[in-house]
Every structure is written in C-alpha cells, then in structure tokens.
Structure 1
C-alpha cells in the first residue's frame, strides 16, 4: 500500500508529496478545493491550508479533511506530474 512519507508546502495551494515507493510530485489542490464543501472551505485561508500533516500515510488537516495517498498518487500519475524513481 502506497503512503505519503513527506509533504512540503510549495506556494498557493500546492504541496510537494513524496511517496513510499520513492516517487514524488507537486499536487495542485485548486480543483478539489473549488467544490466548497464544509471541509474544504477552511482551506481557503492560506494559514490554515499550510497546517496539513501526515497521519497513517494520508494527507490531513486539523478540521478532519484527509486525502488518501492512493487517490493523490493516482491524480498525479494521471496528470503526468508524478516523477517515479529510475529503475
């Protein structure tokens, strides 16, 4: 099972994610946050957005919002933004 092992804030609503298989990519959360759900509205505040943390391999925020490593990995892979380690 893939896990997030490191997350580094970049700018705006972008976070560089490092995964347990050695791959990484910069995730732009603007599309996901545009849905304006009760959980995503809090992330409109830049200071709150930057309060993310990793818990059990998932990307989380203090209000209970979390994204699984697998879903973020898949989004990065499908968008061509996932950099995989050389074999």
Structure 2
C-alpha cells in the first residue's frame, strides 16, 4: 500500500515555507520505509526498520503497528505521527542529500 501526503503551505508568522530541508511529499513504502522529497528537490528513501525494531526505540516502537506507521504526515516540513514521534528534517535532508537513503540509527 502506498499513501502520499503533500504538505500544505503554512502562513504562520516567522515560518519560511521555502527552507530547502522542509519535506514536501512523503509516500509510505514496504518494510517501514518512506519515500520523501524536500523543497529543494532532494529526494530519497528513509529506512526506519532498524530504529523501530531496536530495544531503544522509545516512542518509535509503537510504529511497528503498520496502521500507525502508515499515518505519517507532514507538519511544518517535518515527518510526524499521531503518537508524537517525529524525525529531524535537517538531519534527514543531509543524509538523503549524501546517500539517497537514510537508515535511521537506533
């Protein structure tokens, strides 16, 4: 199942929608992976499988539930889930820019 979310413009004072690291689109892939595209066109895959299965997963452990994982959304340019989990978009942008794939560490 592939779902895709496209960010909406945020017009809140002080928020710049053009920041290159902001996530513009996200699609859920198999095996706890996401396909993302940022404002500057940087695109790649985020592999969360190692983090989610780690004993130190913390808040991310709940994302083993694929129905919850599939509820990823974009808030202010960052990937978030209903349980409060989120990923640092600047770090993700840097890693995808270098490698096209980011295996989120445990």
TM-score class, shorter:
0.7 to 0.9
The residue number in structure 1 matching 2:49 is: 30
Count matched residues: 80
Shift in Å, 1:4: 0.1
The residue that corresponds to 1:60 in the other structure is 80
CA distance in 2 between counterparts of 1:55 and 1:36 reads 22
TM-score, normalised by the number of residues in structure 2: 0.68
User: What SS does structure 1 have at the residue aligned with 2:41?
Assistant: coil
Instruction: Tell me what 1:20 maps to.
Output: 39
TM-score by length of 1: 0.82
Larger radius of gyration: 2
Give the Å deviation of 1:74: 2.0
Q: Is the 8 A contact 1:12 1:46 kept in 2?
A: no
Q: Output the aligned Cα RMSD.
A: 1.4
TM superposition shift of 1:32: 2.5
Q: CA deviation at 1:68?
A: 2.3
Secondary structure of the residue aligned to 1:9 is: strand
1:74 aligned onto 2:74: no
